[in-house]
Amino acid sequence: MAFKLMKNTVIELNQPDSKPLQNAVRMFRRDLANTLLDSEEDLQSSIYVDAAAGHGLACEQFEIKVESGERLVIRAGDELGGIYGLLYISEKYLGVKPFWFWHDQLFHKQDYVEIPEGCYRSKPQRVRFRGWFVNDEVLLSEWQIDGSSDEVWRMVFETLLRCGGNMAIPGTDLNSKKNRHLAVEMGLWITHHHAEPLGAEMFARVYPDQAPSYLEHPDLFEELWEQAILAQKDHKVVWNVGFRGQGDRPFWSDDRRFNTPEERGKLISRIMRRQCELIREYVANPVFCTNLYGEILELYRAGHLDIPDDVIKIWGDSGYGKMVSRRQGNHNPRHNALADPDDPGLNGIYYHASFYDLQASSHIAMIPNSPELLADELNQCLERLMDQYWIINCGNVKPHSYILDLIRELWTEGTIDVAQHRRDFLEVFYPQSFVEDISRLFDAYFASTIHYGVHPDEKAGEQFYHHPARELIAACLCGETEQTLMRLYWATGKIGFREQIKWFKAKCAAAVAGWQDLAEQCRKLQDQMPAPFSHVFFAMLGVQVEIHYTGCKGFVALCDSLLALLDRDYVQAFVLAGDALTAYTQGVKAMDQAEHGHWQGYYYNDCLTNVKLTVYCCDTLRRYIRMLGDGPSFHSWERNYLYDAGDQKIVLLTNTNNHLSDDELYLKLKNKLGGSE
């Protein structure tokens, strides 16, 4: 007889005091309320969750058995197994998908659902430790759900659990410590940022007047490490050991006595072993990991690091999905970041769905490389047995949900059909009649991103239109136009300042028509959709396309403005700066438009890509240009370009009306002279 799951089904726990299981029941009860109607039947069905270790089940494994029409039992190897068992029922029988909240999944309520008679046993997940690093979380930090910041983080961790995740770095810097307790209460393992080994306080914050040198202050460093161990010793922790500088940079940036790779590697190796010793004093059978990230990978590849055999080595991608070392500034060695096929140790990965590098990364829009490339890279990781630890930089979750769901399937199943996965993902949120068209637009998104480098994976996220743009504006306003901007060599190479402007213009000019066409296709399809699907579509894909299109269009106009400024064609430079300002402002408006319902304020704290700051910089540039060309009287352009020919040379009064504002003057001059397309 099938089990009848109803809204009033009772959930019983064999560990009623377990916070993780209590939270799982709370999620499950909300799922029941969202998907089922109140029942008028007298039948009282119950689910019994037995999460005591045993039953012949491995950690995190669960078994679901229908014992009668009124009783279902979930047996699990541990608390996480019990949580996964409840969420399995929720997804398979109630239809609540992992990203239901982030894209407003629509539910059609039923009287009840039936779970067929029999027994189901879960299979092990492909990757051992599976987690998210909630990093650069500036949107989440200022947004609230029903007036609560805690509820935002609760929803992040809930989604991770629904994705089969078991581990989190619960925020960056202070946030990671603030949210640690909630993550533990949700049942998750804790791990740490590569810049914050052991999750300890940053030395420079605690001892701002001391040099952050382990050679000078080993006792102070070890005291901080010991405090972190004591604070977490009763939690499930994957201890990140290692040593970097104060902030996300090499330690020799702070301690310049280490001049050779050998010296640097020797100190890091010594510190790792000392950290492991300290942890073992307080924790039985600890799990260790260390990041081979950036400069650390270079040291490891050169043979300068001695990593203990029981430490999981975490290999990092480029930030753009390719398993090579990341670019830092203009330094781009692209060391292979795949473990050797015969590597005898334990290996895992740090992979970016979201990235922030002040250059060309993707923070408020999807990664620029195709899901096929990402799947290929991750499959190679699995083939190399880099399967002990996957920590995924999830950023602010919502913009990257599609990629996060793709990774979920890989860390769970170990294989993926990219095209079928996308259809399955989209069918959750849209009527079937729209799925193929939306899938095609996703393909077009990844095909439209700018290829800026010599390697196929060197493609531009939305920050490409903003950070370099602000660099160029600042150089012009600060009189640095006679020399090349070394900070932009990562993109342009060693060419002159004017040529750097032309380089960025050429890249964006070649792409802007494609983005415009894609934006128009998205708007057309959105207009065909009924609400609420049209809102969901714009917030999922439409806004990201608009961010790219308006950014690309704005950067072309900005480059033209700067070139005109260098030629002292101030009127044309002013109009083109206004065109850039207008385009970038449309990007801000697109983010505002995406904030429907409880998403109000989601993009408020966009302070990393910071489209609003680019708008400010363009406005400042326009004011500067007007000062040069129309000052100090600020009426000569109006007279020379907007007055009738017969009135231009008659100056009985300098002006008869208030001076035109920059916006008014821009619109009139643009109408008269034209601007960018």
Same structural domain, 77 and 193: no
pLDDT band (50, 70, 90) for residue 493: very high
pLDDT band (50, 70, 90) for residue 632: very high
Higher pLDDT, 252 or 424: 424
User: How many CA atoms, within 13 angstroms, populate the side-chain half-sphere of residue 12?
Assistant: 10
Which residue's structure tokens are 């420079």? 204
Higher pLDDT, 248 or 302: 302
Share of the chain above pLDDT 90, in %: 89
The structural domain count of the chain equals 3
Residue 135 lies in a domain: yes
State residue 320's pLDDT score.
98
Residue 433 lies in a domain: no
Same structural domain, 541 and 597: yes
Same structural domain, 310 and 183: yes
Same structural domain, 632 and 485: yes
Give the pLDDT confidence of 353-400 residue by residue, as tens digits: 999 999 999 999 999 999 999 999 999 999 999 999 999 999 999 999
CB contact at 8 A, 350 and 324:
no
pLDDT exceeds cutoff 80 at 247: no
Residue 421 lies in a domain: no
Same structural domain, 361 and 494: no
pLDDT band (50, 70, 90) for residue 194: confident
Strands of the sheet containing 347-352, edge to edge, are: 189-190, 167-169, 129-133, 389-393, 347-352, 311-316, 287-292, 238-240
Distances (CA, A) of 563 to 471, 640, 657: 15, 23, 32
pLDDT exceeds cutoff 80 at 630: yes
CB neighbours (10 Å) of residue 309?
7
State residue 52's pLDDT score.
84
Strands of the sheet containing 10-13, edge to edge, are: 10-13, 46-50, 71-76, 62-66, 118-121
How large is the average pLDDT for residues 429-458? 98
Give the long-range contacts of residues 228-233, CB within 8 A, separation 24 or more: 228/198, 228/199, 228/200, 228/201, 229/198, 229/278, 229/279, 229/281, 229/282, 229/283, 230/282, 231/199, 232/180, 232/190, 232/199, 233/282, 233/283
Same structural domain, 117 and 136: no
Q: Where residue 31 sits, what CATH number does that domain have? A: 3.30.379.10
pLDDT exceeds cutoff 80 at 270: yes
Q: Where residue 207 sits, what CATH number does that domain have? A: 3.20.20.520
DSSP letter string, 419-431: HHHHHHHHHTTS-
Residue 435 lies in a domain: no
- Of 416, 435, 470, the one marking the end of a domain is 416
Same structural domain, 93 and 143: no
Give the pLDDT confidence of 298-311 residue by residue, as tens digits: 999 999 999 999 99
- Of 91, 121, 151, the one marking the end of a domain is 121
Residue 440 lies in a domain: no
Q: End-to-end distance of the chain based on CA atoms, in angstroms?
A: 68
Residue 207 lies in a domain: yes
Length of the chain: 677
Residue 436 lies in a domain: no
674: Cβ–Cβ under 8 A, 6 or more apart, which residues? 575
pLDDT band (50, 70, 90) for residue 293: confident
pLDDT band (50, 70, 90) for residue 653: low
Residue 388 lies in a domain: yes
Q: Which of 589, 536, 582 minimizes the C-alpha distance to 561?
A: 582
Domain range enclosing 31: 3-121
pLDDT band (50, 70, 90) for residue 173: confident
Tell me the average pLDDT of the chain.
95
Same structural domain, 133 and 245: yes
Q: Which residues pair with 50 in a beta bridge?
A: 75
Same structural domain, 472 and 523: yes
Give the pLDDT confidence of 396-442 residue by residue, as tens digits: 999 999 999 999 999 999 999 999 999 999 999 999 999 999 999 99
Same structural domain, 595 and 520: yes
pLDDT exceeds cutoff 70 at 646: no
How large is the average pLDDT for residues 306-327? 96
Same structural domain, 376 and 450: no
Same structural domain, 487 and 382: no
